[in-house]
Chains A and B, each alone.
Chain A
């Protein structure tokens, strides 16, 4: 179970990316995709990583989990193609330079964008991880969330630092 990653009390202490992987999995329980998005994309729930993958083995614990009766599959991309079948897109720090372009090409697609780089949220990524006293926290860009057409639970919002698009 991915669950065990959620407790720091576990020994050995899970790594930062193990925690982030578990958080990615848990996000799926607090985010609602529009029905057309969930029915269209076949039998798998695709979690995509764009750019350099910082997770590595950390994904092992959640690979194959069921999400809304679909098997969770991790896809790694270097370039933006077939991106429309992704439900969650983790945008690696390596993509910083072309972030605006990436986000533009995602317009109209119901994809939950996630990153762990400072400033990404303000540029239009929906959820961005950050560290606070060595603990993984996240911020949510509510403007980006609204644009994506995804419904984000208020419970998740309550835990997040709320940010907006840069003016």
Chain B
């Protein structure tokens, strides 16, 4: 599985948005359904209380004249309300006076001891005690037990609707996001592509196009500014390089000229040296010649002496 931080911005954006939408929808649905259930329970209690009230009011005469058959007939009217599973009328002193069981209800259900006006929600039933008040006297109590099929089917319906709403909403959100995320990922991807191109081709004259005036716009602007600076510096460096080259070639020319001059001088000097050498050779030769001559003279003198002094 990919880590969240390693997936693309496009996916991140979609994921973040869908997650946000989903959680918000889930919360909203939960609140709505809870509210609905609370509301429905309240209305169930109200309805059951009204039913108890009607039956109680109808059975005042039956209770007053101890007519159990009449009371049972009154209770049997509950057959019209299929949610009522069980009902009992108690006399003032708590004896069971009349009983009603819906068709599906088991025979062995025993009436609970009568209580004060109250209601109780069980897992699959709502039960309610209600005093039968007649002429300011409490003349009996009625107990009604309703199943919760309607509540549960309502709950099922609500959850189903919530799931459908969620599915549709998330699909629409996904479609919208696939389009809308481009306003963010587009400029980013452009920048990324540009960066890759520049680092590959080293052409700093390229510029990012600015799509918007938000942070991404500033990013592109900053990127362009940087490129501009790099380009400018490059140009300066190039200029510098050229200048230096010129300098160098100028100096080189100068140097070769000097060199030539030096060479000429050297040649001249060499010639002079040769001349001098030649002259020297000549002088030395003459000297030697002189010495030789002197020696010849000397020897001649000697020879001459011999001849004089015999």
Contact = CB atoms under 8 A, between A and B. Distances in A.
Given A7-B91, A7-B93, A9-B91, A30 B64 contact: yes
Contacts of A3: 92, 137, 139
Interface string B67-101: 10010000000000000000000011101000000
Interface string A144-158: 000000000101101
A64 B91 CA distance: 24
A118 to B, nearest CB: 19
Contacts of B93: 4, 7, 9-10
Contacts of B134: 29
Nearest to B74: A158
Query: From DSSP, what is the main secondary structure of chain B's interface residues?
Result: mixed
A159 B95 CA distance: 21
Given A3-B137, A4-B93, A155-B58, A29 B64 contact: yes
Chain B contact patch, size range: 10 to 19
Contacts of B61: 30, 153, 155-156, 158-159
Interface residues of A, number: 22
A159 B65 contact: yes
A4 B137 CA distance: 12
A17 interface: no
Nearest to B57: A155
Contacts of B62: 155, 159
B92 A7 contact: yes
B77 to A, nearest CB: 12
Contacts of B60: 29, 155
Nearest to A157: B61
Contact of B64 (A4, A8, A26, A137): A26
A130 interface: no
11 contacts: A3-B92, A3-B137, A6-B64, A6-B92, A9-B91, A19-B66, A29-B64, A30-B61, A138-B65, A155-B58, A159-B61
Interface of B: 58, 60-67, 70, 91-93, 95, 134-135, 137, 139
* Top 9 closest pairs, chain A to chain B, by CB: A155-B61, A26-B64, A9-B95, A159-B67, A7-B91, A159-B70, A29-B135, A6-B66, A159-B65
